[in-house]
Amino acid sequence: MRRIAFVAVATLLALDARPLAQPRSRVVMLGTGTPNADPDRYGPSVAVVVDNASYLVDFGVGVVRRAAAAERAGIKALAAPNLTLAFATHLHSDHTLGLADLILTPWILERATPLTLYGPRGLRAMTNHLVDAYADDLRIRTRGGEPKHQHDPRLVHVHEITPGVVYRDERVTVTAFAVKHGAWEQAFGYRFQTPDRTIVISGDTGPDSHLEDQCQRCDVLVHEVYSEAGFSKRPPEWQAYHSRYHTSSRQLGAIAARAKPGLLVLYHQLIWSSTEDELLKEVRSAYDGKVVSAHDLDVY
């Protein structure tokens, strides 16, 4: 009798702990870097994970290894064979240097289905060039004695998109929206509507892209940023570039004050000679909501 009572209490405790612990949707910061070769920040890549499915936004350098690190930390949706779907914000090299990795490495690691990509004009040509560049590798791996692979890696489904709903399945609706990123003809941010959260990712953007229209009290706004203190010490020609292509800390504070996200996540931080604490202070001078400065492999 006493033993049955113990089991019942243990079961109740387990039931109690389970549903609150984990949201169905999580944002995993695979890479928070920029073109600068910071050894602590890999190239930009954010994974939206819903249950056992993953959706990548951008594929900067190191993307597959960062995904493997997240898998090792318990996020099974980021195991290499699950990396089947990715959305490119724009074709700047820092956001796309991992494309060959994303095409080839999970294929070698027994991904069962071909990779599918969404992104701006030029993504198809970039994909085709990379597949061509690795022609000898592909020939040796498919005919040189490696165990048989599950699909032909030359087959990548590429969708060159325009703003609007670009993808939908039973877990997410993904909407692409145009952002202003200097001279790029096409650059996108993405909004993910999942069963339990709305997640907005800016990609690289100047300050006039109306991110507040996309977020509107969204749960998580992941946004690029540069430090105003660091900027003030940059050479004038670089200042002209940064102010046209990117969003300063105080500009972002003002955007977030209008967008009212549940959580503002800073990534692609250009800090230069300043500090992360200073960067956060600058954002907070214009925004009193919750804000964090992300590092690689943070999960929100």
* Residue numbers at the binding site for Zn ion (CB under 5 A): 92, 94, 204
Give 204 or 219: the residue with its C-beta nearer to Zn ion: 204
Q: Minimum distance from CB of 149 to Zn ion (Å)?
A: 32
The secondary element (H helix, E strand) that includes residue 254 is: helix 249-259
Give 72 or 238: the residue with its C-beta nearer to Zn ion: 238
The secondary element (H helix, E strand) that includes residue 166 is: strand 164-168
Q: Minimum distance from CB of 182 to Zn ion (Å)?
A: 8
Give 208 or 288: the residue with its C-beta nearer to Zn ion: 208
User: What's the CA gap between 220 and 239, in Å, rounded?
Assistant: 29
Q: Minimum distance from CB of 203 to Zn ion (Å)?
A: 8
Provide the token pair at 63.
Answer: 């993307």
CA atoms within 13 A on the CB side of 91: 16
Are the C-beta atoms of 192 and 118 separated by less than 8 Å? no
Which single residue is written with the structure tokens 């940023």?
Answer: 225
Coil, helix or strand for 193?
Answer: strand
Are the C-beta atoms of 183 and 165 separated by less than 8 Å? no
Q: Minimum distance from CB of 245 to Zn ion (Å)?
A: 6
Give 204 or 282: the residue with its C-beta nearer to Zn ion: 204
Give 47 or 138: the residue with its C-beta nearer to Zn ion: 47
Q: Minimum distance from CB of 33 to Zn ion (Å)?
A: 8
Q: Which of 115, 131, 56 is nearest to 89 (CA)?
A: 56
Strands 291-293, 263-270: pairing is: parallel
